A and B are shown apart, each in its own frame.
Chain A
């Protein structure tokens, strides 16, 4: 067991450990387009989204704003030649079939400590057991979780100006209903929803994709591993 700088909060939970890594926002993703749900013509429908770009080669966790009453989550990511593309669901005002109207939303990139951004000023820095810099409390936009939640436990937020969620890959549940010649696929997803009382929880399952499929349905239904999420204070983010 290593000895060194360790901080716990009043619940005895770890909040800083010299062998953990500081995290920081490394920038805001650029909006590229807004796509509304597909047409009601033709039977099969899919939800809309908005998309964003961000240039970086680092492993990134995407974070997003939580406008009150809108259901938000990352639905797809891609990477090629140094550019990340992020598809984000941010919906409200469902139509008669339950498909949400989509809105643009602010999206940020979070990474572990980026050595290049380490400043020359005086302040608290930590090195890990191997002597490598692990935390620098002077770098811009350091982040710490102010609340956490998961599929069954909402995050209760302190009074912060702008809650921003990290994590929450939308939990999804795909069901198949067979008829005599085809089957009908219904894909429902749960996104994060910030309530007026400043709690953040997974929303009820929203229709994401539906339509008649040919052939035999897959066995049973498909569920993803629901991601827990952290909420940070986005008040000073770029």
Chain B
């Protein structure tokens, strides 16, 4: 079934091709403060690979992933940084 897929053109240019796409849908981009932060996604499926992307060059805590609520949940533990600081994460599911 490798010949099936969705291809979208815009002005003649292919802007989306599901056969070329690597796995990973974005659940959101978030500013995470130093305090513990929990991000839940009740509408997303279980059993997928979680991915967290950073792009800010700073120190981060090691995030955790679980499905104990029956849906994907990402937990960012508290990290030592100034009260006004935050870092940005991109949360994905593959």
- Residues of A in contact with B (beta carbons under 8 Å apart): 1-2, 7-11, 13-17, 19-23, 58-63, 73-77, 87, 111-112, 123-124, 128-129, 137-138, 142, 144-148, 158, 166-170, 224-225, 227-231, 236
Q: Top 8 nearest A-B pairs by Cβ distance? A: A13-B23, A20-B25, A167-B53, A169-B54, A19-B43, A15-B21, A59-B29, A227-B54
Proximity string of chain B (60-77) to chain A, C-beta cutoff 8 Å, 1 when within and 0 when not:
111100000000000000
Q: List 14 A-B contacts (CB under 8 A).
A: A14-B24, A19-B44, A23-B26, A58-B29, A59-B31, A62-B55, A63-B55, A74-B57, A137-B10, A145-B24, A147-B22, A168-B55, A224-B60, A231-B22
- Residues of B in contact with A (beta carbons under 8 Å apart): 1-2, 5-6, 8, 10, 13, 15-16, 18-31, 41, 43-45, 48-49, 51-63, 88, 90, 93-94
Q: How far is the CB of A5 from chain B (nearest CB, A)?
A: 10
- Which DSSP category, helix, strand, loop or mixed, fits chain B's interface? loop
User: Which A residues lie within 8 Å of B10 (CB)?
Assistant: 123, 137-138
User: Which B residues lie within 8 Å of A227 (CB)?
Assistant: 52-55
Using known A-B contacts A17-B44, A137-B16, determine if residue A169 contacts B25 with beta carbons closer than 8 Å: no
Inter-chain CA distance A39–B32, complex, in Å, is 36
B26 touches A158 (CB 8 A): no
The residue in A10, A62, A145 that gathers the most chain B C-beta atoms within 10 A of its C-beta is: A145
Inter-chain CA distance A128–B35, complex, in Å, is 29
